[in-house]
A and B are shown apart, each in its own frame.
Chain A
Amino acid sequence: MTSDLHKLTVTEARTRLRAREISATELTRACLDRIAAVEPGLHAYLTVCEPEALEQARVADRRLGAADAPALCGIPLAIKDIFATRGVRTTCASRILANFVPPFDATVIARLRDQGAVFLGKTNMDEFAMGSSTENSAFGPTKNPYDLGRVAGGSSGGSAAAVSADECLAALGTDTGGSIREPASFCGVVGIKPTYSRVSRYGVIAYASSLDQVGPFAKTVRDAAILLGAIAGVDPRDSTCSARPVPDYERALTGDVTGMRIGVPKEFFVEGMEREVEDATRAALKQFEAMGARAVEISLPHTEYAIGCYYLIATAEASANLARYDGIRYGLRAEAATLGELYSLTRARGFGTEVKRRIMLGTFALSSGYYDAYYLKAQKVRTLIRRDFARAFENCDLIVTPTAPTTAFKLGEKTADPIQMYLSDIFTISVNLAGLPGLVVPCGYDNLNLPIGLQILGPHFGEEAILRAGDAYERSSAFKRRPPAL
């Protein structure tokens, strides 16, 4: 028995579940069948929770009988393997946590669970979210649904690919330097990185605490808005989480962008950008103008320092955040004769190359005698980058840019050259440094039929504006989404 229910959007499924036209169990079954069919080629999931998902679906079906069933009741989701899920293995795609089963739920997981969402499984990622292609997973890369010889992007590549290939209705990811937006762009789906502090980080395995932020992947902007509304908001377990009330994001989707001033940073149309990416971005801008918005040129003069700044701050924080993987309390432990050996062997075996590289980089940046020149300087640059954006938003409501300079690259193409890999995040990284929200919506395909994503940035807590713009664009006739032909 096969069905096409896995192709539904969250919005469509919600309507049909509430009308009892379909059951959560059927919907979950369809997703699990889809996973079974396409996973061997894609490797989007690290863990599929079939029995648990079916049980959650059964419970959801009972709740769906009530008039006040929550929005996400019975909706099958995929979860990046960076979120602590009670009783379900959570690896962060690292050997060091290969058998780690958390005794608690991340706050966002608990919220979705309360809503009656169905968790299909845990998705692949770059180890500890360090990477731009999901090739740094200790358990093998995720392939791009549009071309199995190419990467899905990263670090949330599994979640992006799972949504793109209809292996779930929507998914959760995290974004520290572009880890939601770049894979969303590569896999042709919608992804949003909210304002830093908008969503609780409790239970999200930390990479860089001052940059990490949780966000959804979805097939439509509306779906992303629904998910964001469900996970955002104050959390007593995260003191950096904002107490600002969460607006009804769905209500912001009016389709009207008349009079919106759209900033176009001159520094973002750089050399090395693929022609088709630039063309698609400019075409999208034209579309916005056609819908009544106005394009204005802006300047973000410190853009060129963003990558250097990021790789000092993020790695410094990571060097401390990853110190807890010491083989003492949980996770991998190498047998050793001395304590020193236990630490070094555990960490040598448990961490992959990129993780080690970043731990060493961060350790160096914080070391006595180097702190001022590296970490402190990077913090100052971060302030300048933040100021660039604040000034820019004095003259515009949104900023539109490409998401990545290229479409999905080939597997193995950049693994030998970390700097080339780091440059994939050139348009996304400064957004994390500034703590701003960013939305990616598909805006075209290149001549190889690889998706291109448009990045729409807003001021702090400007999620409503960027969702409205993204939704309006998506609804316009500019282009039609083409699902991958798997």
Chain B
Amino acid sequence: MIRCKQEEKNITMTSVSEKYEAVIGLEVHTQLLTSSKIFCGCSTAFGAPPNHNVCPVCMGMPGVLPVFNRRVLDLAIRAGLAAHCEISPHSIFARKNYFYPDLPKGYQISQYELPLCNGGYIELPAADGEQPRRIRLTRIHLEEDAGKNLHGADSSLVDFNRSGVPLLEIVSEPDIRSAEDAGAYLRELRLMLRYLEVSAANMEEGSFRCDANVSVRLRGATALGVKTEVKNMNSFKNVEKAISHEIERQIGILESGGRVVQETHLWDPDREETRPMRSKEFAHDYRYFPEPDLPPLKVSRELVEEIRAAMPELPSARRARYLRDFGLSQYETDVLTNERDVSDYFEEVISAPGLSNRKSAANWVMTEVLRVVRESAKPIAESAPKATEVGSLLAMVEKAEISLNAAKTAFAAMCTSGKGASATVAELGLAQVSDEAAIATACDRVLAANPDKVADYRAGRDKLFGFFVGLVMKAMGGKANPKVINEILKQKLAG
């Protein structure tokens, strides 16, 4: 999208862009879904008053020691397995040393040599007819978050609520070639983390953050160009914009005969440009060394297998299943899998007894259910009727117990009343009559009352068939199964 805009602005840019290839690696920090911090018992709840969720340990008081929260390990292993990483049986924590007011100990406990997860990859969902692409991972490691500096007019304050919140750092190889792919990678990663219930992965709340290493080189070149690190991108849109901007900036420099300087750039979302940080702000020698206050992290084969056995279905597997087994299109598959809660809802709908037409269930969820969700602007669990009830409703349609129109009426009623499918259908008298005897009686009555029309029909006025159907349906109070009416009428009129 962004690239299109720029191409419109400057046609020659396109051919220049063709000359170069971008090489992008992403570092993602994502908050693990634990109720307490990684090295102390404080709460990780978002939105508490400043310095509410703190204790001597996460405030870096003299003499305190970290104690590792084992729950963090389970979540991290789950993420590592989902990303096809090798889970290290022996990893260690390290101290990353730097001064900043939001860093209470003057070092961050992280992992450096011997991280928890090595290698692995994330598969980007393919467009129709394409092969899925793999973005390789370098590593996934554990670390603690820092606090947050709040700058006022003449003073600065620090909130340590986030200090010690558990983070996973997911580092990709420089396998990404465009801003769009960077976006696709992040969306896939976020979706995976949400399916795994490893992270809420919410960029706005800061539980999912991304820094990008960007360089460009002449297409076909094998050596890497000089890279810059781009920070401060707080939405998916901004990540794509910032990377696009940085690619164009670097190409601009190279085209005008200049050289890219290795430095850190901050994305300014208001001015839509990246600006270099002052070199003093990032020229760190972090002086990593093994954390002497924590023993090595030992992970047994048994633990890994236990976690593997309890892994939920991943979005990629679910997508493949919808495409292959349900006959859904790529688009439908995407709509139904891109939000974990929607997908789980759909899964529940189709698990209703008697429901076998997944394709029509998919349509129903995408149109009827998602419309309600959209209109209410609330999560699906709070806005739509219970998935099992919607499933029962659709099963009733499939068994011809109600008509599709009746189902829509019932659905609308269920949305407001919160009642179940069968109760609603009964209450509103929507059950469809397929009783052949009752329908035959009604047909006989209609034909007997209209002898002239019957004669006309038999004389060749085929169009009158609809007229008879309408009268029978009316006589049945609109609840008769139209298919049955058709069959019986045809027989009787032929006779």
Contacts and interface: CB of A to CB of B under 8 A. Distances in A.
Interface stretch (B59-67, B176-184, B300-308, B329-337): B59-67
Contact of A329 (B60, B67, B289, B294): B60
A326 interface: yes
A434 B361 CA distance: 69
A77 interface: no
A316 B68 contact: no
B62 A102 contact: yes
B102 to A, nearest CB: 9
A339 interface: yes
Given A239-B294, A320-B107, A205 B67 contact: no
B493 interface: no
Interface residues of A, number: 45
Interface stretch (B12-20, B93-101, B205-213, B256-264): B93-101
A319 B287 contact: yes
A36 B66 CA distance: 40
Interface string A187-207: 000000000000001111110
Of residues A100, A206, A323, A375, which shows the largest number of chain B Cβ atoms within 10 Å of its Cβ?
A323
Nearest to B106: A323
B115 interface: no
Interface stretch (A350-358, A363-371, A450-458): A363-371
Nearest to A206: B63
A40 interface: no
A102 B101 contact: no
A238 interface: yes
Contacts of A206: 62-63, 293
B158 interface: yes
A206 B63 CA distance: 6
Interface string A307-331: 0000000001101101111101110
B285 interface: yes
B385 interface: no
Q: Which of A84, A205, A326 has the most CB of B within 10 A?
A: A326
A324 B104 contact: yes
Chain A, interface SS category? loop
Contacts of B292: 208-210, 240, 317
Contacts of B99: 323, 326, 343
A401 B67 CA distance: 37
B50 interface: no
Nearest to B286: A368
Given A103-B56, A106-B63, A240-B295, A319 B285 contact: no
A320 B62 contact: no
Given A239-B68, A320-B106, A368 B287 contact: yes
Nearest to B156: A339
B155 to A, nearest CB: 12
B293 A84 contact: no
Interface of A: 82-84, 90, 92, 97, 100, 102-104, 106, 201-206, 208-210, 236-240, 316-317, 319-320, 322-326, 328-330, 339, 343, 363, 366-368, 371, 375
29 contacts: A84-B61, A102-B56, A104-B56, A106-B63, A202-B63, A203-B64, A204-B63, A205-B63, A206-B293, A236-B67, A237-B65, A238-B65, A239-B294, A239-B295, A240-B65, A316-B289, A320-B97, A320-B107, A320-B289, A323-B97, A323-B107, A324-B106, A325-B62, A339-B101, A343-B99, A366-B287, A367-B285, A368-B285, A371-B289
Closest 3 CB pairs of A and B: A323-B106, A366-B287, A209-B292
